[in-house]
Amino acid sequence: QVQLQESGPGLVKPSETLSLTCIVSGGSISSYYWSWIRQPPGKGLEWIGYIYYSGSTNYNPSLKSRVTISVDTSKNQFSLKLSSVTAADTAVYYCAREVYSYGYDGGYYYYMDVWGKGTTVTVSS
């Protein structure tokens, strides 16, 4: 089955750019939406954004000016860049797959069914 694995530096200096990659194994990235979610220590989940395999993106407005999500279908992976980081960006970062089911009412019901294990990123000098 599909598995996701995040990778990237665990420590980033303030004002620098956080860069993470999520490798998709056991299936093709060439379908569905691919998301980034983060969780500050002891807090809840925050959706960062997602990318469709074709390259179209959707970002959380609260982070939009600093976020870039990209996809590399040849490597079956997608990436997150978050610029100008501060201590408030310290969190566990998860990648996830968002899929949909077609409902009887004609709606498309989206949900995140596969998650990576998460990677801890600390912003500190």
Partner 1 sequence: DIQMTQSPSSLSASVGDRVTITCRASQSISSYLNWYQQKPGKAPKLLIYAASTLQSGVPSRFSGSGSGTDFTLTISSLQPEDFATYYCQQSYSTPRTFGQGTKLEIK
| Interacting residues toward partner 1 by CB under 8 A | 35, 44-47, 49, 58-62, 94, 96, 98, 101, 103, 105, 107, 109-113, 115-118
- Greatest extent of the chain over all pairs of C-alpha atoms, in Å: 53
Kind and range of the H or E run holding 92: strand 91-102
User: In angstroms, what is the minimal distance from the CB of 74 to partner 1?
Assistant: 26
Q: Which residue has the tokens 């998709």?
A: 24
Nearer to partner 1, 7 or 16 (CB): 7
- Which SS3 state, helix, strand or coil, does residue 52 take? strand
Terminus-to-terminus CA distance in the chain, angstroms? 39
As measured in angstroms, the least distance from the Cβ of 10 to partner 1 is: 15
Q: Which CB sits closer to partner 1, 16 or 98?
A: 98
